[in-house]
Amino acid sequence: MDRITTPFDFSSTAAEVVDGIDLTGRRAVVTGGASGIGVETARVLAATGAEVTIAVRDLKAGERVAADIRATTGRAVDVRRLELTDLDSVDAFVAGWDGPLDVLVNNAGVMATPETYTEQGWELQFATNHLGHFRLALGLHDALAAAGHARIVSVSSSAHFRSPVIFDDLFFRFMPYDPWAAYGQSKTANVLFAVEATRRWAADGITANSLMPGSIATNLQRHSGGGSPNPLAKTPEQGASTSVLLATSPLLEGVGGRYFVDNQEAVLVDRPTNDMTGVAPYALDPANAERLWDVSLELLGV
């Protein structure tokens, strides 16, 4: 497979990536659309003419963002509640969706949280970042298939270098809990999801890709002391660009199962690079991807 390259780079903004693209009549869902790069992702998709729904935990915050997007783009944005660690909430979102869905941006997430477990005994970061989004995508499969050429965007991170998926101890029942290892495992899972979703669903017209948005100072860093100033830092407008690229670019039509950084497909590396632009082989391994899918189905009882 040829590596995908684009005219965009580290400094490109989401608005620049969609310049000239018209998504009138298309429908998109952005999870975590009330903060950080989710806001900019939703704003720019709305500006292209897409009918955007932001899926949020806090409806009041979501309504404020929707009002701001309408003021800046002239486009209305729908707001619906979604709590990814509450499977009833995920199922309610799915049940409330009607009609086709062209774009699903799995953007919401938590990072480096204190040791916390859901009522099922699942480690919080894996439950939020992977399992909640996995159940959401499963539930919306038919809506995505009905769109004909749907795309799923899975927001991962260079933190996937911190850990592969540890199948023998997903929830740190034996290993000492490490918040960054747990985050890294969940971000590796985000990449593997895109690999396997594409393999299973490409025949239904659904492709999925994953990405590293960059280092952006947002609420995601609330458990890590905030973003440290560094030469690789991005604005939210820049951070949202790769998500928007994967959601909209004609260059990605029919392309799936790949990982992108700075609006370019990443290259496989045998160790992390200083600029964190590569991808670990275990994160794209088809056997790992299939195993994670099967394990996730078993955990969710579906």
Measured in whole angstroms, the distance separating CA 150 from the mean position of its chain's CA atoms is 15
Max Cα-Cα span within the chain: 52
Residue that the structure tokens 């996995």 belong to: 134
Distance CA 85, CA 193 (A): 17
Question: Residue 115: which of 127, 106, 101, 107 has the closest Cα?
Answer: 127
- Residue 24's H or E segment, with its range, is none
Residue that the structure tokens 């952005």 belong to: 30
Distance CA 92, CA 85 (A): 13
Exposure on the CB side of residue 212, measured as CA atoms within 13 A = 28
Phi, psi of 227 (to 5 degrees): -75, 135
By the 8 A CB rule, do 207 and 1 touch?
Answer: no
By the 8 A CB rule, do 256 and 250 touch?
Answer: no
For the record, the structure tokens of 287 come out as 């056997």
Q: Is 183 a catalytic residue?
A: yes
Cβ-based neighbours of 256, under 8 Å, separated by 6 or more:
194, 197, 198, 202, 207, 208, 209
Distance CA 208, CA 194 (A): 5
Phi-psi region of 74 (alpha: psi -120 to 50; beta: other; left: phi over 0): left
Measured in whole angstroms, the distance separating CA 89 from the mean position of its chain's CA atoms is 18
Catalytic residues: 183
